[in-house]
């Protein structure tokens, strides 16, 4: 019997985001090819024992396991945070160091606030050549690298999904350079770790099809595509998305703003071991009417 292919998937969460992490994991496993196993690596920002037990239920009887990774939070003690971007989001910068003892060529990083609708093994098998990461353009920020002091014709990417070549990342000292940028160029930072990564990884990233990271602004066509090629890609992504990414302030669990995938998302959350979170969301929305 042929051994299954093992794919490492990394995400990061604190205890507040554990329920939404479960939805990412559940929907990813629901669409996974039969010949694939997943090793989830969760960068752990004080997830409770109770939440970890519920996350273990997600992978129970599934071709998947969970391991938890710890980051030295002192590295990120002074980073810029906001109402929807916490210190936890920065921890992905340390990812290659956290997996230094693993023999992986590449890993797939995925944010918690997503809904997976396709088989991610197809994404994982993408050949990104000698690039450091594969990522998807950020439609709202595509042309802003000049703001970060970068002179290039390259586009700005969204860091919520990254196919990372670990050797190339380490060779280029991306973690060290990104941390230095966060410290030395703090006045340039608006979009948190994503700004710093773009300032360092420009021209070293491979453009993935936007269907793998259908951001809210792309779904609602709030920004013009930069080229005819991207115009075609945007249309294909909207019509047939593989991963829905609930970017921005409005999430399915905290907003009544219309999003065509909110209902499906909440159905998945209700099926998860965190069903009480779904009930709490419904109660809060009723109280706000």
- Kindly report the number of other CB atoms within 10 A of residue 101's CB atom: 5
What is the value of pTM for the model shown?
0.91
pLDDT band at 75 (very low <50, low <70, confident <90, very high): low
State the pLDDT at residue 191. 84
> What mean pLDDT do residues 48-64 have?
97
Q: What architecture is the 5-287 domain classified under in CATH?
A: Alpha-Beta Complex (3.90)
> What mean pLDDT do residues 269-286 have?
80
Domain residue spans of the chain: 5-287
Q: What is the distance between the alpha carbons of residues 218 and 158, in angstroms, rounded to a whole number? A: 12
List pLDDT tens digits, range 119-147.
999 999 999 999 999 999 999 999 999 99
State the pLDDT at residue 45. 86
Q: Which of 58, 12, 22, 54 is nearest to 266 (CA)?
A: 22
């Amino acid at each position: 019997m042929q051994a299954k292919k093992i794919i490492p998937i990394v995400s990061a969460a604190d205890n507040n985001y554990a329920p939404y992490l479960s939805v990412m994991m559940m929907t990813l496993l629901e669409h996974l090819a039969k010949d694939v196993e997943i090793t989830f690596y969760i960068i752990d920002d004080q997830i409770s024992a109770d939440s970890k037990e519920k996350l273990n239920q997600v992978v129970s009887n599934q071709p998947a396991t969970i391991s938890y990774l710890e980051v030295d939070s002192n590295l990120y003690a002074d980073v810029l945070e906001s109402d929807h971007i916490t210190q936890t989001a920065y921890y992905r910068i340390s990812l290659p160091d956290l997996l230094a003892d693993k023999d992986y060529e590449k890993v797939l990083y995925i944010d918690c606030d997503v809904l997976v609708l396709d088989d991610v093994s197809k994404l994982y098998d993408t050949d990104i050549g000698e690039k450091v990461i594969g990522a998807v353009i950020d439609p709202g920020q595509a042309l802003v690298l000049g703001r970060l002091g970068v002179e290039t014709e390259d586009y700005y990417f969204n860091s919520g999904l990254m196919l990372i070549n670990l050797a190339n990342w380490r060779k280029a000292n991306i973690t060290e350079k990104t941390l230095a940028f966060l410290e030395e160029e703090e006045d340039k930072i608006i979009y948190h770790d994503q700004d710093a990564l773009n300032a360092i990884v420009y021209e070293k990233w491979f453009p993935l099809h936007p269907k793998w990271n259908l951001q809210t602004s792309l779904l609602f066509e709030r920004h013009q595509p930069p080229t005819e090629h991207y115009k075609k890609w945007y249309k294909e992504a909207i019509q047939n998305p593989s991963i829905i990414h609930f970017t921005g302030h409005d999430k399915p669990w905290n907003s009544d703003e219309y999003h065509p995938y909110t209902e499906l998302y909440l159905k998945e959350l209700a099926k998860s071991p965190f069903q009480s979170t779904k009930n709490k969301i419904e109660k809060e929305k009723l109280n706000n009417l």
